[in-house]
Amino acid sequence: MTEFNIHAAIRILREEYRFWKTPAVTIVAQCDGSPFKVLVSCLISLRTKDDVTAQASMRLFERADTPDAMQSLPVEEVAGLIYPAGFYRNKALQIVEISKRLMREYGGRVPNEIDELLKFKGVGRKTANLVVTLGFGKAGICVDTHVHRICNRWGYVSTKTPDETEADLRKKLPAEYWIEINDLLVAFGQNHCFPVSPRCSVCRLAEMCAKVGVGASR
């Protein structure tokens, strides 16, 4: 099979994107652009459906939308506001503790470097990259389950973990696509290229996709 044409794939995904539901964290970034809100909504989104993330983030930010305001909230209140997000009690504690540390050590400002963000409990590479790209507009590649799965399904990379996928993409993905790859593939994965039974019969990328690991499709 010929090498996967990433330029053609991105062009098609950009065209199709307007028909798909925008990921919740992207909506937060588009509405405000606050790195703090991007960080918090990304933490809420982990192992949580997008609709739940969007509603939970909105409820929480109506109550507190800065590190200073957030650090003053009882953890129990934050938990109640973001329920039923997955692991909402643990996430509430993380959000409050991160807010306190931002005020104590960073003057209430979210760091704009991945390595610095990784020092916060509960912040992994996916979250750090998303904050850097959506919150600050800096180069980064956010690899979540959709990006990892789809890039391997295409045959564009051959990796076992999201971290390995990020490392490979940093080597081969053209820099012009770094920031938007997550947004495009999350929407693609949520609306079309499902983990099980993807919609291959009506996919404009089907002919160029290696369909690695795909069993049944529709």
Which residues are annotated as catalytic?
A: 126, 144
Closest CA to 25 of 43, 38, 44: 38
Query: How far apart (Å, rounded) are the C-alpha atoms in residues 107 and 103?
Result: 5
Burial of 97 (0-12, 13-18, 19+ CB in 10 A): middle
Query: How far apart (Å, rounded) are the C-alpha atoms in residues 27 and 161?
Result: 27
Query: How far apart (Å, rounded) are the C-alpha atoms in residues 69 and 100?
Result: 10
198 close to 217: Cβ distance less than 8 angstroms: yes
What letter does residue 21 receive in the DSSP assignment? P
